[in-house]
Structure formats: C-alpha cells, structure tokens
Amino acid sequence: MTDIGSLGKYETAWCPGCGDFGILDAVKDAFVKLDLDMHKTVLVSGIGQAAKLPQYLDCNFFNGLHGRAIPAATGIKIANRCLNVIVTSGDGDIYGEGGNHFIHAIRRNIDITVIVHNNQVYGLTKGQASPTSDAGFVTKVQTHGVISEPFHPLGVAIVLGAGFVARSFSGDKEHLSQMIQEGVKHKGFSLIDVLQPCVTFNKKNNFVWYKQRIYKLPEDHDAHDKAKAYEKAMEWGDKIPVGIIYHDGRAAYEDACGLMKDKALIDQDVSAPARIRPIFKEFL
C-alpha cells in the first residue's frame, strides 16, 4: 500500500469550510481501508473546484477538459482494465458539460466509480446556477431565481441501468467513506452523489440545511427493487435519503467485450504494423 499523502504544507484552492475538504478526507479514508495499490489506481477529473481533489493525493491522476472526465476515465479503463479508475469532479462538470458522457458511460456499464461533488452551484466561475440547483435559487445571473427543472442524477442513473447508485454527505466522513468503498468494489458503473455545501456561493444549501433534512436509509430498504429505489432517488426537499439507493449487477463493459475478456488491451499486441501497412496504402 502506497502512502496517499496529506495536504501537509501545501495550500489548497478551496475556501475555508468548503465541503471539498470532507470529501477529500473520506476518499483518503476509503482508499486506506480498501488497501488500494496506488500504483494501480488512477483518479480522473475535469475542471472546477471539485476537480482539484486529485492534486492533493499521492496518486496517478489525469485532469481533463471541462465535462470530459468520464470519457478520459473510460479510455484509461478500456486500455488497462486492471486499474482502479475513479472519477472525482463537480455537479456542473459531470451533470452539465459532461451530461452526455455521463449517460452513455452508464449505458456501456464501464467499470469506473464516479464521485460527484454536488454543491448545486458553479463555484469556480463565481456562483452561477448548476444543473442541480433548486428551482427558485437566486444567483447573480439567475436574479429572479432558477426556472429550469433540476437535473435528477440518481433517478437518471437508475433508469439507465447503473448498477450502483448511492448518495452521501460531505459532513459525514464515515458514511461517505463507506459509500466510496462499496462503489469501488462494485463491478460496473458506480455513482456516488455527494451533497457538498459551498460556503461562499450557495447560502441556501448549507450544512444546517442538509443536516435538518438528511436521513439514512433504513436497513430494510431493498436496494435491488428498482421501482422503490427510483422513488427514493426522487425524494428531495423536507427529507433527503442517503445510502445505497440502488444496487444491481450486470456484466461490465470489459467483461462483455470479447476483445477485452481475457487480457487488458495494454497487454495485447494491437500494433501489428505488418497488417496495418496494407490498410494505410489503400487510403494514402
């Protein structure tokens, strides 16, 4: 097990009290408890305050373009299925700019874990409404309040067949760590939506607001019942459930794709220059 490090003397780009700190602590705790080999673990992010998390860990990571974390993670996993590939980025990055990639990665059932820092606002660009902002939420841009229907990531993920759908809170390290551990262990696409207060630009959905509404799913919640899971996924407002909302299994992309079943692409002779030259000659 490689030491995943700590913030130490390094200054972060996050505001004091930011929920990202809690997510970082939970990620480190989960990695230690999973005893992950950090040489075989890759964190992928896009653009935004949440996307800076991998920079505070001693690990392999890739920072992509805004909204392009999931396709980069997909490419990494397909090239080397032996790697633990974990996406960590924000609600704007994953559900907004990256919404199309989010949808189709679920359809393919790529074996990656996607941890979304969901603060319901664009923090990096100074407080515009994000896809998950509540209706009526007032910002400097949406001065009369948000009029669009919020994006419902958990509901969308369940409908599209994601095998692991969970929600947690950045203020509960133990619970969030457990959700991350279970998500990483799941074989297939895993979504962990993390409710994360933005102390600077979202004065509505703060720590107190969440703590007054969040409740843990009871032990008798049937996470294998798709209809009941969807009902819980869409519960929002006075009560917000956290925990493993839906858990099911189907063949991950890497196991279903014949080319990758037995051996990672990185271990295969895919260059075959002698076979490729005649093809090039046809078109050049």
- The residue segments making up the domain with residue 253 are 19-283
Task: Give the confidence band of 137 by pLDDT, cuts at 50, 70, 90.
Answer: confident
Q: Would you say the pTM of this structure is higher than 0.85?
A: yes
Task: Give the confidence band of 1 by pLDDT, cuts at 50, 70, 90.
Answer: very low
Per-residue pLDDT reduced to its tens digit, 15-67? 999 999 999 999 999 999 999 999 999 999 999 888 899 989 888 999 988 88
What is the C-alpha separation between 125 and 253, in angstroms, rounded?
A: 35
**Inside any domain, residue 3:** no
User: Would you list the DSSP string of 90-113?
Assistant: EHIIIIIITHHHHHHHHHHT-S-E
Q: Does 249 score more than 90 pLDDT?
A: no
Find the farthest-apart pair of alpha carbons in the chain and give their distance in angstroms, rounded.
67
pLDDT at 4: 57
**Inside any domain, residue 5:** no
pLDDT at 280: 74
**Which residue from 130, 131, 165 is spatially nearest to 245, judged by alpha carbons?**
165
Per-residue pLDDT reduced to its tens digit, 193-217? 999 999 999 999 999 999 999 999 9
Task: Give the confidence band of 221 by pLDDT, cuts at 50, 70, 90.
Answer: very high
Per-residue pLDDT reduced to its tens digit, 142-151? 889 899 999 9
- The CATH number assigned to the domain holding 108 equals 3.40.50.970
**Contact, 196 vs 48, CB < 8 A?**
no
What is the C-alpha separation between 21 and 79, in angstroms, rounded?
A: 31
Which range among 54-58, 236-240, 278-282 shows the weakest confidence by mean pLDDT?
A: 278-282
Which residue bears the tokens 């030491």? Answer: 3
**Inside any domain, residue 272:** yes
What is the C-alpha separation between 158 and 223, in angstroms, rounded?
A: 11
**Inside any domain, residue 7:** no
**Inside any domain, residue 4:** no
**Inside any domain, residue 271:** yes
pLDDT at 262: 74
What is the C-alpha separation between 281 and 69, in angstroms, rounded?
A: 36
Task: Give the confidence band of 166 by pLDDT, cuts at 50, 70, 90.
Answer: very high
Number of domains forming the structure of the chain: 1
pLDDT at 239: 96
pLDDT at 106: 96
**Contact, 129 vs 209, CB < 8 A?**
no
**Inside any domain, residue 259:** yes
Task: Give the confidence band of 2 by pLDDT, cuts at 50, 70, 90.
Answer: very low
**Inside any domain, residue 255:** yes
Q: Which residues of 28-57 are buried (b: 16+ CB within 10 A; e: fewer)?
A: bbbbeebebebeebbbbbbbbbbbbbbebb
